[in-house]
Chain A
Amino acid sequence: MASRAALAFAVVATLAGCSGDDAFNPSVDLGVHPTDMGAVSDMGRCAILDVKAEIDPKTGMQKTTAPALLTAVAHGQGGVDPTWTVVRAGDNTGYTPTATDVSKLTVQFLAEEPGTWTFNVDFASGACRGSQSVTLGNPIGRKVLYRLRALPPESRNLPLTDTVVELIGGTPVVKDIALESGTLISGQLVSGGNGTPGEVRLIAKVGPDAVTTTNSLGAFTVAVQPLGSYNVLLIPESTALAPHLGAETQGAALGSADFVVGPGVTVTGSVTDSSATNLAGVRAVLRAGPLPSGAGTTDATGAFTLHAQAATNYTLSFGSDAWPQGSVADVPAVGGTTIAIQYTVARVAVGATVVASDGTTPVANARVSISSRPLGTIANVTVAGGAALAASGRVTRVVHTDAAGALPAMLLPAGTYDLIVEPPAPSTDGLTAITKVVGGAASWTLQLQTPITLAGTITGDKGQPVAAARVTGVEMVGLGAAPSTFTDASGHYALKVDRGTPVTVWVEPLGRDKLAGTRLLVPAGTTAADLALGPGLLVSGTVRTPGSQPLPAVEVEAFCFSCGSATPVATSITGADGIYNLYLPDPGELIVDGGATD
């Protein structure tokens, strides 16, 4: 048996794939609520609770997993006639622990299920309510790390706060989020001793960036985490100044930092076509990771100037409404750098008219996104007189139809083009995807298509229909429509979506169902999609101000660390009591196969 247990824990450790500590300590939240204190402030000081799990004879330490006998002690403060309850997060049932003596100041409760168990004690007199929680893990539960991000109201000038929570299969969690007051940085973006408007982006090494824009005099205020590390990125509005990326600096030190920008290095260049004709209106920029250069736009002589922080590893991007977008890597920007761009790609005239789904009615003010597939080399780029570099590129352009439904005259290189045509809202027609091949001069008629109905049924973890769940179809191209509806009593939904776009179906069930939301990407043209929701684990808590006051109307987003998700898995907005509730996918339990003899 010992070897079997060792195998089980080895598998747990191996499959969890998380940085979770095997010697997981039960998290304990002191839950003396200021609101409660306020309500009974004349009753004396609030009770302080001490909750402990029984000692695990194997480790000699408190048990961290269920089942466990929990002992709670209310420390005096003159409380008389205590009344106890025990509640497990996500479970509405209240339990009564057993008093160990006549004073009833010490009670015990056998917590058989994993989760956050909260002891509450009220007194007839002498002290106000106290509560404290202990979280017991599931010994065979999978572990997934989540990051909860609280977005406090802008007026509070508080930094975004990230809180990490480990979700263990089958274990609801109570996790309060204490908003940090942060360090308020009031500064001024300065050039040559004068304030200058622009953007201030403090790029956090860990956690959320702090971003703001200045006023016209360059003044700004932004809150940062005092212990966080930031790279300061300053982007002036003026094209005569260069953006600046500073060294890593601790948040607390930013208060005395200078936010100075200057012209940087000047990069000049020219853009011509294959016949060496100067091209006006071509835009050129440099970017090295988060650091952009200033923008340069060619004048009538085909010349441009831009300003950049000195560096050797920029990627040059260029393009215009009439010419494809191209790029080349490893472009230096040092004093006196010159760049010569010569388009080599040939173009042909293409005209187009957008008509409605009836095939004849022209559609004014339709939005058409034109994207070519990669065109190969479109230009030669010479940097500082060196060898010509081949710049690959493609056409990416957004144009609109005129009153007659016609697009502006275009010159396009030969190639295959993916067109997304969107009628102006409201319209009985929908976003339409069209592929065109350009081999020579052409005139297109782009006919819109009507939307389709995407329908299906949402079921729960036991196959039950899920009613009143919000279903949103997020379209992945074009402007990004996101029609939304709710499931009926049979769990059925029907959404009108555009047939020309893949759709991500988001399902957000009500909290009462204790199910986790889900997302499913369906190909363009899909008309049926049934989705099954897995069990949800409740992660809840109170978002509090730095002064410990519950804060309503705060959005809390849950990102799955372990899954590498960059988009929130679920969001919640705190209620009037500052409480948020998120149902996250239950990681489940490990299945340990001990073999045929097991």
Chain B
Amino acid sequence: MARLLLEWRVVNRAWLLAPILAASGCLFVTDVNNPPSVQLASLSASTFVKGEPIDIRVRAIDEGADDISLPIAFTVASGDATPVDNCDYLIEAPGHSATLRFFRAGTFVINASTRDRYGSPSNSATVTVTIVDGPPTYSANAKPVPTLAVNGCHLYSAGQAIPLRLDGTVADVDTDAQRDDSCATTETLTYTWRIVGMPGMATAKLTPAVDDGCPDPDAAGGTTLSVADLKQQVCLWTTSTTGTATSMYSVALDVSDGTTTVASPIANIPVAPDQPPCITGTQLPAGSYVVDRTEVQTFRVTGVGDDLDSFGSDKLSFVWSIWHEGDVDVDGAPVWHTVPSHSGSSYSLDVSGFGVGEKLRVRVEAVDRKGTRASCALTADDCAVTSCGNDNATCNQWRTWRLELR
């Protein structure tokens, strides 16, 4: 029997040859088609950050074929219990090399396979990758800082509201990781300020700053405060009664991307007990004067240094009092008469009601919101107190004018 010469270069269906082979007794076949195979090049790592490009290179092998022409099919399967959603990944420029990005944390199995031109499927090459969240990161040396100047002793004052901001920036490499606009945003950074520590007796709170200031002591707040904008300043309301020593408040900022929360370095804010206000200027300058008893005498405070209340603040008040020479109690101590309900910084006195040659003293005392009065001897013209309110310079909480009416 003549030999059957099969001209097929490639026999795809070898079983079809069985009857022929039985009839002829012999069979000559030049080539039998073998399925292609694929191999995945090793990845540089097995763990990647969300959104990070993963470059995949596939080697396809098929006998007698142009390997490059074999189409590579990629599929992604879940490597853990979470089903894979279309928004979870993106395959870019699929070919023998492709870039994959994943948009949620988890374990994924990447499959690559091909078929030859006869439709023979290749093996399925797989690689498993672990996708992790990229945490928020602070710029170098970033930390919360007060935006209020310290007092003359380089401290803050108990009872003070201290605006804070982050001195630095926050970045998150995968905060914008998203397949496309049809998919939901995978991350939104949130910012939470937190009081980490405070003196034992304190009941401090954080509130949003208004125009970078802290105008409202009754604003709602707590020991944590979430803000929408990193640039939003917050107010740390310290407690006015924290003893006599310098104490420390500690504040940190937590930034979260929804998966990972990262705390900033802690800002330690030294707070000292309230300092008394200092009268830094008067007009006339405090001293002894001979005045015309027919003229109204006006006295003004022209400057006050205080750690809590600046000059001009409604919370800074003044106590005016008069002493008429000879007005003493049974012990010979001077009896000063306080001008009732007069808290302003200037005071006018009609001296025409006094007699010629009489001697008076007019005294003004500055009182901040704490209301603490000076405790100097009533005979002292100037009440020198220790204070940081005047850049640690000489400080007088009260000053006195001596007047002689002529």
Which residues does A use to contact B, with CB under 8 Å?
151-155, 160, 197, 199, 211-213, 235, 237, 243, 283-285, 287, 290, 292-293, 295, 297, 317-321, 325, 365, 367, 369, 371, 396-398, 400, 420, 422, 424-427, 472, 476-477, 479-484, 496, 553, 555, 573
Known: A153-B302, A483-B341. A325 touches B310 (CB 8 A): no
B187 part of interface (Cβ distance < 8 Å): no
Bound Cα distance from A287 to B291, whole angstroms:
10
Chain B: CB-nearest residue to A568: B346
A343 to chain B, nearest CB (A): 14
- CB contacts (< 8 Å) of B344 on chain A: these are 472, 482, 484
Bound Cα distance from A553 to B358, whole angstroms:
35
A-B interface, 8 closest residue pairs, ranked by CB to CB distance from nearest: A283-B357, A213-B287, A154-B281, A573-B312, A483-B341, A292-B406, A285-B406, A425-B340
- CB contacts (< 8 Å) of B290 on chain A: these are 199, 235, 243, 292
B348 part of interface (Cβ distance < 8 Å): yes
Chain B: CB-nearest residue to A573: B312
Bound Cα distance from A472 to B341, whole angstroms:
10
A154:B285 contact, CB within 8 angstroms: yes
Known: A151-B283, A211-B285, A400-B327. A477 touches B350 (CB 8 A): yes
Bound Cα distance from A285 to B287, whole angstroms:
21
Bound Cα distance from A197 to B290, whole angstroms:
13
Bound Cα distance from A425 to B406, whole angstroms:
29
A555:B300 contact, CB within 8 angstroms: yes
Known: A319-B357, A482-B344, A555-B302. A153 touches B350 (CB 8 A): no
Q: Could you list some 8 contacts between A and B, CB below 8 A?
A: A151-B283, A154-B280, A154-B285, A317-B356, A424-B337, A426-B340, A480-B347, A573-B312
Report the interface size for chain B: residues with CB under 8 A from the other chain: 44
A325:B356 contact, CB within 8 angstroms: yes
Contact of B357 among A285, A555, A573 (CB under 8 A): A285
A218 to chain B, nearest CB (A): 13
A151:B300 contact, CB within 8 angstroms: yes
A213:B288 contact, CB within 8 angstroms: yes
Bound Cα distance from A398 to B326, whole angstroms:
11
Known: A151-B283, A396-B353, A396-B354. A479 touches B289 (CB 8 A): no
A481:B341 contact, CB within 8 angstroms: yes
- CB contacts (< 8 Å) of A284 on chain B: these are 356-357
Bound Cα distance from A213 to B310, whole angstroms:
28
Chain A: CB-nearest residue to B324: A398
- CB contacts (< 8 Å) of A319 on chain B: these are 355-357
A481:B287 contact, CB within 8 angstroms: no
- CB contacts (< 8 Å) of A553 on chain B: these are 303, 310-312
A479:B339 contact, CB within 8 angstroms: yes
Bound Cα distance from A317 to B292, whole angstroms:
11
B214 to chain A, nearest CB (A): 15
Chain B: CB-nearest residue to A197: B288
B349 part of interface (Cβ distance < 8 Å): yes
- CB contacts (< 8 Å) of B352 on chain A: these are 396
B87 part of interface (Cβ distance < 8 Å): no
A451 to chain B, nearest CB (A): 9
Q: A398-B324, A476-B350 are in contact. List 19 more A-B contacts (CB 8 A).
A: A155-B281, A211-B285, A211-B289, A235-B289, A283-B356, A290-B292, A295-B357, A318-B356, A319-B355, A319-B356, A319-B357, A396-B352, A396-B355, A397-B355, A425-B341, A472-B344, A479-B342, A481-B340, A481-B341
Bound Cα distance from A139 to B350, whole angstroms:
43
Chain A: CB-nearest residue to B312: A573
B335 part of interface (Cβ distance < 8 Å): yes
Residues facing A in B260-284 (CB within 8 A) are 280-284
A154:B282 contact, CB within 8 angstroms: yes
B343 part of interface (Cβ distance < 8 Å): yes
Chain A: CB-nearest residue to B393: A155
Known: A555-B302, A573-B312. A297 touches B339 (CB 8 A): no
Contact of B337 among A367, A397, A483 (CB under 8 A): A367
